[in-house]
Amino acid sequence: MKFQIKEYITPEGENANFDLNDLVEIEEFVNTNIQGRKYGTGVLKFSWGFNVFEHKGMFDKFVDKATPQWQEKGKTIISHSHFDWKKFAKLSKVSAVKLIKKELLLAIERVEKLKGKPKTFNVGLFHSEIGQVLDHYIKHNL
């Protein structure tokens, strides 16, 4: 199964401690560590929406706050997390990655309530292994 991070970052601020290259690095690290793993049949990709915007800011109304989705055509599960620029911009890289881990795991948990998802997708196993992979990333890469 493939893991994907789709970032949506509005131009309201920056975090000098964390940038898009860090997201790419995390995505590649996760994919390397789950390569060949099976979490049930039918799901080819988990796409995580990483949305950073100013809550109640000018872009707030454009951010997709929908529940997780199952796309049958692409065999993809999509789930989002939302981060507030005002808080995220103040974080160190370590704190940002720890928050990313927490929010990603919550996004995976929300998939459990998704109607119409493949019944064979093992959300618990996927959640557990992604948590372990990110713990390893935090311990050895930061």
Which residues lie closer than 8 Å to 7 by C-beta, 6 or more apart? 20, 23, 49, 50, 51, 52
High-pLDDT (> 90) share of the chain, %: 65
Which residues lie across from 71 on neighbouring strands?
76
Residue from 56, 64, 90, 58 nearest 7 by CA: 64
Q: What is the pLDDT of residue 65?
A: 58
- Looking at CATH, the fold of the domain delimited by 2-141 is given as Collagenase (Catalytic Domain) (3.40.390)
**pTM reported for the whole predicted model:** 0.90
Q: Which residue has the higher pLDDT, 18 or 26?
A: 26
> How many other CB atoms sit within 10 Å of the CB of residue 128?
13
Q: What is the pLDDT of residue 89?
A: 86
- Please give the Cα distance from 76 to 61 (Å, whole number): 25
- Please give the Cα distance from 112 to 124 (Å, whole number): 9
- Please give the Cα distance from 56 to 46 (Å, whole number): 28
Residue from 32, 15, 16 nearest 24 by CA: 32
Condensed to tens digits (0 to 9), the pLDDT of residues 60-94 reads 565 555 679 999 999 999 999 988 888 888 899 99
